[in-house]
Amino acid sequence: MDREERIIENEKLFREVNERVADLQANFSGPDPEWVCECGDETCFEKVGVPIEEYQEVRAHGDWFVIRPGHEKLDVEKVVRVHNDFVVVEKFEL
């Protein structure tokens, strides 16, 4: 598996974890939920605080991911939005 494929597989795994968090958060109120950073680094398990509504908006785009600032991989993705606590990136198609 080459680097780009490994990055994509890692992002898919983190996305699945976050979808389970979203399911749990749907019935709760309180502070912004913390999501697993969806960067392609398989050793990254950092958390990202994103309001549920904003996370759902990002999820509406299948190739957008929420990551920690500084975790961008500009050779395989472009930055779509920058916030204080997180960045939204779009993956290039392979």
pTM for the whole thing? 0.72
For the chain, domain boundaries? 3-91
Share of the chain above pLDDT 70, in %: 87
Query: β-strands 87-91, 77-82: how paired?
Result: antiparallel
- Comparing 18 with 76, which gets the higher pLDDT? 76
Query: Helix, strand or coil for residue 87?
Result: strand
Query: What is the pLDDT, as a whole number, of residue 80?
Result: 96
64-77 tens-digit pLDDT: 999 999 999 998 89
Position 37 pLDDT exceeds 60: yes
* 3 burial level (CB within 10 Å; 0-12, 13-18, 19+): exposed
List, edge to edge, every strand of the sheet that includes 77-82: 64-67, 87-91, 77-82
pLDDT at residue 65, rounded to an integer = 92
Buried b (16+ CB within 10 A) or exposed e, 77-94: beeeeeeeebbbbbbeee
Instruction: Note the pLDDT tens digit of each residue in 41-63.
Output: 888 989 998 888 888 899 899 89
User: What confidence tier does 11 reach under pLDDT thresholds 50, 70, 90?
Assistant: confident
